[in-house]
Amino acid sequence: MASAPLPYIGRRVLEGIATTSAGPMSEHLVILGGNTAGLAAALSARRRRPAQDLRVLVLEAGQDISYGACGMPYNLADPQRQPNDLLVRGMDHFRQLGIEVALGHRVLEVDPLARRLRLRRDGQDITLPWDRLVVATGAAPLPMSVPGLPAERHFTFRSLQDLRRLKEAIHGFQRVAVVGGGAVGLELCDALRSLDLQVLLVEAQSLPLPGFPHALRERAVDTLRLHGVELHLDSRLTQATWQGSRLGIELQGPARGQHGSVACEALVNATGQIPATDFLPANPLAKDAHGALPVDRSMATAWPGIWAAGDCVVREHAVPALPGETARLWNPQAREARRGGRVAGWNAAFGTGDDTTLPLSPGTLALKLFDLEVARCGRLGLDGVEAPLLPEPVSTVRGLLGQPLPAPPRMAQALQANVKGQTRGHGMPQADDLEVWLEADGQGLLRGGALCSTGPGAALRVNVLAALLQAQGRVEDLLELDLVYSPPFGPIEDPLLKAASRLRTLLKK
């Protein structure tokens, strides 16, 4: 990195942006990324130290801050709603709290030892010093190279700007391909079908929603078919042809030489995401092969003075059934980003880094697929081998790794119960089917579970499991819970309790 004289942080970078009243002796906390994790870190740091004592600067590459990406599929589905409806807080909110936010400032290079960074604003490179740094740059869509695919027909779905672009263009299309059958891909299928578009789903595995129980994934296939989604499973996208205004995509099946071509007008890449940390130097201790930053429970990275949170980090995670062993958990979810950001900001403000920690989370995920609700939490053994430690659908995991998952470790003894029930009390006309998969190790320690319902019911029930798993609960703990009984909301013996009861019987055998 060039060693040009370092400009004073407020004079050049923050031109035109309100500055705080920080004194010359104050320290500089610079936060990279202005959304979920970054803004949580900024607010937390400011709560801990006042503006005259600690200058907090958020550098954001894009033009948006503080928006809920999780609402994007639903916003896309509703022509009455604008993408900007997803914005939560404006710049003024942060300025009033003494937090400076600089939009359009893309960080290109960070020197962790010299404690300075290089960023680009309006085509100009600027070097900045920092005392402490929080990296909260999230993840970027996994690049997908499809020879022959014109850029104007290729969409990603990660940022608010992606939503604006797709929403604006969608009126011109009738037939759209979604590539990737993870949670985001399926939410996109649902949204695009509700706009009455013809939708094709291309997924490399034989079933969508990897990481969920097999029967649940089959149920997702039935639901997609029922709602008119054209499925291309076991298919890999190899190239595209573009003639006139006609787009053709070439798919390759599992058998060698099995090819097919399907027509569509646009393609949305939902194949996965990769931590956005290319501005940090390679370092086997501080940045893994996929670009993710390993952090401890205080969200400190291996570089002194640098904390990190959100979709760009992996956390050390104890393996419940294998005492003494740890694995790395990548949990690219909004709650994880916000909670991690708070911890990172709090510790970075003080500077020692280990006074507040983020508990390890079981990883909770839910989604709506047309009428179907599916949810999972913790770990599920699949066919006698350990499910990926990463709670995100495997298509995302595969995206992170950029290649098929390595064989997971063999699972220590685990027992799984599977029960079917109803979402409401006996005789209620609106009751839907609810299926539960619940798993515990041989000593009765809960490991994880999944739920699926044909109407409302599965998603919020998973919270019971999330609470128990986080508290390292046992099957007996679940059985003793006083879960609500009222016919419009649930049966007297909730399917979760039935699954626990079945598991207890299995444990006694």
Ligand X SMILES: Cc1cc2nc3c(=O)[nH]c(=O)nc-3n(C[C@H](O)[C@H](O)[C@H](O)COP(=O)(O)OP(=O)(O)OC[C@H]3O[C@@H](n4cnc5c(N)ncnc54)[C@H](O)[C@@H]3O)c2cc1C
Q: What is the largest CA-CA distance in the chain?
A: 77
Query: How many residues of this chain interact with ligand X, rule: CB under 6 A?
Result: 32
72 is a site residue for ligand X (CB under 6 A): yes
User: Shortest Cβ distance from residue 335 to ligand X (Å)?
Assistant: 5
**Single residue of 43, 56, 59, 249 touching ligand X by CB under 6 A:** 59
Name the residue nearer to ligand X (CB basis): 34 or 208: 34
320 is a site residue for ligand X (CB under 6 A): no
Q: How far apart are CA 139 and CA 107, in angstroms?
A: 14
- What residues numbered 141-180 form the site for ligand X, per CB under 6 A? 157-158
Name the residue nearer to ligand X (CB basis): 72 or 99: 72
**Single residue of 9, 54, 136, 465 touching ligand X by CB under 6 A:** 136
User: Shortest Cβ distance from residue 4 to ligand X (Å)?
Assistant: 20
Q: How far apart are CA 318 and CA 329, in angstroms?
A: 9
Name the residue nearer to ligand X (CB basis): 248 or 305: 305
Structure tokens at 209: 């929603």
62 is a site residue for ligand X (CB under 6 A): yes
Contacts of 387 (CB under 8 A, 6+ apart): 211, 379, 380, 381, 408, 448
Of 55-63, 246-254, 415-423, 462-470, the window that binds ligand X (rule: CB under 6 A) is 55-63
- Do residues 418 and 499 touch, judged by C-beta distance below 8 A? yes
Name the residue nearer to ligand X (CB basis): 127 or 137: 137
- Residue 503: phi and psi, rounded to 5, are -65, -40
User: Shortest Cβ distance from residue 345 to ligand X (Å)?
Assistant: 12
Report the side by side order of strands in the sheet with 124-129.
106-111, 116-121, 124-129
Is beta strand 116-121 parallel, antiparallel or unpaired with respect to 106-111?
Answer: antiparallel
Structure tokens at 370: 């047309």
Name the residue nearer to ligand X (CB basis): 109 or 296: 109
User: Shortest Cβ distance from residue 158 to ligand X (Å)?
Assistant: 5
Name the residue nearer to ligand X (CB basis): 378 or 495: 378
Name the residue nearer to ligand X (CB basis): 138 or 490: 138
Q: What is the dihedral of CA 75, 80, 83, 85, to 10 degrees?
A: -90
Structure tokens at 180: 């990737």
- What residues numbered 448-477 form the site for ligand X, per CB under 6 A? none
70 is a site residue for ligand X (CB under 6 A): yes
Q: What separation in angstroms does the CA of 500 have from each of 29, 291, 402, 494?
A: 48, 39, 37, 10
- Do residues 139 and 390 touch, judged by C-beta distance below 8 A? no
**Single residue of 97, 103, 334, 479 touching ligand X by CB under 6 A:** 334
Q: What separation in angstroms does the CA of 324 have from each of 113, 462, 473?
A: 33, 28, 19
Q: What separation in angstroms does the CA of 458 have from each of 201, 437, 455, 472?
A: 24, 11, 8, 21
User: Shortest Cβ distance from residue 194 to ligand X (Å)?
Assistant: 15
107 is a site residue for ligand X (CB under 6 A): yes
Q: How far apart are CA 18 and CA 115, in angstroms?
A: 24
User: Shortest Cβ distance from residue 37 to ligand X (Å)?
Assistant: 3
Of 201-209, 334-342, 398-406, 466-474, the window that binds ligand X (rule: CB under 6 A) is 334-342
36 is a site residue for ligand X (CB under 6 A): yes
- What residues numbered 344-373 form the site for ligand X, per CB under 6 A? none
- Residue 70: phi and psi, rounded to 5, are -65, -25
- Do residues 247 and 240 touch, judged by C-beta distance below 8 A? yes
- What residues numbered 182-201 form the site for ligand X, per CB under 6 A? 184
Closest CA to 495 of 406, 429, 435, 414: 435
Name the residue nearer to ligand X (CB basis): 32 or 54: 32
User: Shortest Cβ distance from residue 139 to ligand X (Å)?
Assistant: 6
User: Shortest Cβ distance from residue 339 to ligand X (Å)?
Assistant: 11
Name the residue nearer to ligand X (CB basis): 60 or 441: 60
| 80: exposed, middle or buried (Cβ count in 10 Å: 0-12, 13-18, 19+) | exposed
- Do residues 388 and 378 touch, judged by C-beta distance below 8 A? no
User: Shortest Cβ distance from residue 331 to ligand X (Å)?
Assistant: 8
Element holding 239 (H helix, E strand): strand 236-243
- What residues numbered 258-297 form the site for ligand X, per CB under 6 A? 276, 279
Name the residue nearer to ligand X (CB basis): 169 or 334: 334
| Closest residue by beta carbon to ligand X | 310
335 is a site residue for ligand X (CB under 6 A): yes
- What residues numbered 198-217 form the site for ligand X, per CB under 6 A? none
Query: Which string of x and - marks every residue 13-32 that binds ligand X (by CB under 6 A)?
Result: -------------------x
Contacts with ligand X, residue ranges (CB under 6 A): 32-38, 59-62, 69-70, 72-73, 106-107, 136-138, 157-158, 184, 276, 279, 310-311, 332-335, 337
